[in-house]
Chain A
Amino acid sequence: MKKSKQLLNGLDSAGEPPVFFESREAFLKGLLETASKLVAAERVSFYYYDEKNALLRLMMRRSGGASFEAEENVRQGRNSPAASALAALKPLVFRNRAGHFLLTPFRIEIYSASANREAPIQGLIKLERSLKKRRFSPAEAALAQERLGGFMRSYYKAEFVALNRKYAKNLAAITELTEIFANSLRVRESFKHILTGIQTYFGFDRVRLYLIDEKARKLKGEFSSDIRGQIKSIAYEEIPLESGAHRFADIVLGKNSNTFMERYKDCVLYLPLIVQGVTIGLLIVDNLLSQQKIAPGELAMLKSFAGQIGLALDNVRLFDKVEELSLYDELTKLPLRRYFNQRFQEEFYRAERFATPLAVIWADIDYFKEVNDTYGHQIGDKVLKEIGRVILSNLRKIDFPCRYGGDEIIILLPQASGEEARKLSRRLAEEIAEIKIPVPFSKARELAVSLSVGISTFPADAASMESLLEKADDALYWVKSQGRGRIALASEVKAEKSRVEGRGDRVEGRGDRVEGEEKV
């Protein structure tokens, strides 16, 4: 409102059209106010000519001292006043039973971002007076054409300013998004940053990211972001990577485009993420809820980012893979000793701080060296793989297993007592006993595996990390010395040792009993 007044004042004093508009709305309001004042029109309407549909379409109207948008679409007849005024590009005055009319046509050549070329904007300004008032004079018509024509020419400048703003925004987007993509290293965080970056600069109804899991031949959902930038996981979405299984799979496989897709092309963009010729995922942005077209400029820019996004995602995945390799054992999929030491410190600190128990299971695969020597390392690897699988499928989320050495496995059980650790060990031992590894060219045909297990608990058995491990190792040693394939708690071993020492006997042979122990 204030702006429009400034514009009008400017026009009244200097007779020059204004040069700047805050927005298209301000421009139209200013134009209509100017026009109604200029020739004392009771009603002024701004129409643009929609060439594609051959319709005159109302953009804004001023009546009763207020400007408002309204919907009006008109197909003018070949000899109608509107058609004549548009064809001649000259003002036209007429009257009918509804009132006096003055039509002021305009036509300006302007760059159209959507058409990607110079495209004329044409239309007319309709000025009306009631029949009680005098008709529009030729002088008024000429004045209106001159002044309003000048006003329209400054529309150029308004569009130019808008275009400039857009370019500035795009430049900022390029700079910031490039930085985001380049600095993305941590998987989950990076995915979120990438989606947030896209939403900040483009603002779609939804953005979704899917990555290809080559092993499972699936397209897996990662994250989605809504129009407000809220990010949520879509890990529950899994699409088989087979032709015809799903539209997304077809796009990734390069088989798509039907009528449905054609209809979607204005408000959905499917962006396969390709790195060195290999498709690694799919980014989907859509404006389906709002049904608003994705601007061609945005389409082009996002497409140009696709390579960078793909590269960033690939980097992230590689980083993740390297990290996984350095922390996890490839055979058993169990964390390695380095990772264990770090977690052990954290868990021990937590147990001390909150006075909660912490149990340690130290397990050894019985006769593993002999398995390797007799049947070869391939069979040994199979044994390790199977044992890793059994362990991972039996643990709670808070438990932490580790391949500590060649055939040694340690499992940390936060908030677990010795008995609970024994129960778990028993379950593991039972399942492991069921593992049958086929051994070709051998009389045995199948290899059976067993574990020896020592268990210690904090604070019952030890007050420090080193001591806790030592006690579990002692218990394991005890089991091994008793013939393997058993489970022993450190407390029981201690009691047994005292008993034996008290008797003055030497501990020897398989027949000696450890309290609570079961043969597996």
Chain B
Amino acid sequence: MLIWLLSDCDTGKFAAFKNLLNSFSAQYPDIKVDFRALTRRSMWQNLFAHLRDSKHRESADLLELPHSWTAVFARLGLLAEVGGVLESFTPARYPDFLKKGCVPEESDTVFSVPWWMEAPALFYRPEEFSKRRLCPEADLLDWEHFLGTCERLAAGNKKRGFYPLLQGDGAGRLSSSHALPCVWNRGGDVFSEDLNRCTLGKDEAVKGLQDYLEPALRGYLPLFNEAVFEGGPFYEEVCAMVFGARAPASPGRKSVFKAVRLPGPRKKELVCSYNLAAAAGSPNLKEAGLFLKWASAADNSSSFAAAFGVFPCLKAGFEEALEDAREGQAWREIFSAPAMTPNITIYPTAQLLLDRALWHASLRIARQTYAREDFLKELIIAQGEIDYLLSLY
């Protein structure tokens, strides 16, 4: 049986998964399991390649997917109904906000099972904050204060290679998952409430995205940072804050960062869940079902999530992890108003288009050729394309 996993900014996930596989193999020695880790883009391309030519392009038996991919791949016939591979699946064991990620729009059929989740947050170094007499509650209250904090941190630390803010992954680019909370801060969103129209070109959304670009434009946040290549960034010394979903730490060391919710007055917090789904065309559906059942069991999912600093999806395990978490208060605040990205057929494509616009903006900012008009033009074109897709699917 082959499992496709999504790659992660933290190699800890693969170590955790290997441990999980070892335990599974000990219990089911007859089932041979292999896994492959793919980037989000690569998995997207490989799944479409399989849809195009299933004879020559392999797919996995079991897939780890962002929850918002469930609708599109269920619609394209790639995912097996969970009811067909698991003897029983009890949605009531999961927090309510996760349920929409398991079923395609206007359907009751479950196609994926929530496995683990995370939420974007801001991590700050208390030591650096107290040195500059900064108070996280007041100075990270909203985006304006946050930018002011960045300015004070930059002015107060002239060390070579120091930045007030870094990104928690090596992608080096600005991404939609961190942009969305900024858009929500301004009262904007990607879609209208009825999900019938794209609203990326609306004022609120544009302002929110502009907020998100601002730290990079002002030079507080380096893009495509070369320190990533050279084994860094050395978080403790060269930055004061990190955008991410896990507490950043140098390998083998305990994190010195504390989590707070991303600044801003929004009323909801983005939560991303990662689900397991069996492939409809798999010749090993029985084995896939066994692994799915085993991996989503309370103990296994909790220990797997804990091993790389994320949250399990089962209600009991999630509440326990929230209790035990460092910065429990911050995470409780974040998870008190959870919101997921919509699980509709075209959402992943909309996200690709927004990410493409942000990628171009990142490149232009890094080259110092950024112009607001170019970014706006891209957003308007993306909106047109998304609206067109909404009319088609």
Contact = CB atoms under 8 A, between A and B. Distances in A.
A56 B352 CA distance: 21
B234 A97 contact: yes
A68 B7 contact: yes
Interface string B344-379: 011001001100100000010010000000000100
Given A66-B14, A98-B234, A291-B353, A73 B39 contact: no
A116 interface: no
B37 interface: yes
A149 interface: no
Interface in A265-302: 288-292
A225 B66 CA distance: 27
A288 B388 contact: yes
Interface string B1-43: 0000101110100110010000000000000001011111110
A292 B14 contact: no
Contact of A66 (B37, B234, B356, B377): B37
Interface stretch (B46-54, B89-97, B319-327): B46-54
Contact of B224 (A75, A97, A288, A291): A75
Given A98-B234, A289-B389, A260 B171 contact: no
A73 B171 contact: yes
User: Max chain A CB contacts within 10 Å: which of B8, B230, B384?
Assistant: B230
B169 interface: yes
A216 interface: no
A96 B238 CA distance: 14
A101 B52 CA distance: 41
Contact of B48 (A25, A80, A292): A292
A227 B76 contact: yes
A74 B170 CA distance: 8
Contact of A228 (B5, B51, B171, B234): B51
B161 to A, nearest CB: 10
Contacts of B306: none
A74 B228 CA distance: 7
A55 interface: yes
B393 A289 contact: yes
A75 B53 contact: no
Interface in A337-396: none
Contacts of B381: 259-260, 263
Given A98-B234, A290-B48, A70 B7 contact: yes
A330 B363 CA distance: 65
Contacts of A69: 7, 37-39, 42
A347 B388 CA distance: 47
A291 B223 CA distance: 25
Residue from B39, B40, B41, B353 whose CB has the most chain A CB atoms within 10 Å? B39
Contacts of A25: 36
Given A68-B7, A292-B48, A74 B229 contact: yes
Contact of A64 (B15, B229, B346): B15
Contact of A72 (B228, B349, B377): B228
A71 B170 contact: yes
Contact of B231 (A77, A96, A259): A96
A101 B231 contact: yes
Contacts of A228: 51, 76-77
Interface string A180-215: 000000000000000000000001111000000000
A225 B57 CA distance: 20
A61 B36 CA distance: 12
Interface string A1-33: 100000000000000000000000100000000
B352 A96 contact: no
A56 B225 CA distance: 11
Chain B contact-residue range equals: 35 or more
B328 interface: no
B313 interface: no
Contacts of A226: 76
B342 to A, nearest CB: 16
Contacts of A291: 349, 352-353, 356
B72 interface: yes
Contacts of B356: 291
Contacts of A244: none
Contacts of B34: 1
B53 to A, nearest CB: 6
Contact of B7 (A53, A71, A99): A71
Interface string A206-238: 100000000000000000001110000000000
Contacts of A75: 172, 223-226, 366
A204 B39 CA distance: 22
A74 B384 CA distance: 31
Given A73-B173, A74-B224, A76-B226, A99 B39 contact: no
A167 to B, nearest CB: 15
A82 B229 contact: yes
A240 interface: no
Nearest to B223: A75
A288 B389 contact: yes
B389 A55 contact: no
A84 B94 CA distance: 52
Contacts of A67: 37
Most buried by B among A75, A259, A263, A292: A75
A54 to B, nearest CB: 8
Interface of A: 1, 25, 53, 55-56, 58, 61, 63-77, 80-82, 96-99, 101, 126, 128, 130, 203-206, 226-228, 259-260, 263-264, 288-292
Given A74-B172, A263-B381, A291-B356, 10 more contacts: A61-B11, A68-B14, A71-B7, A75-B223, A98-B230, A228-B77, A259-B381, A291-B349, A292-B45, A292-B48
6 contacts: A68-B5, A72-B170, A75-B226, A228-B77, A288-B385, A291-B356
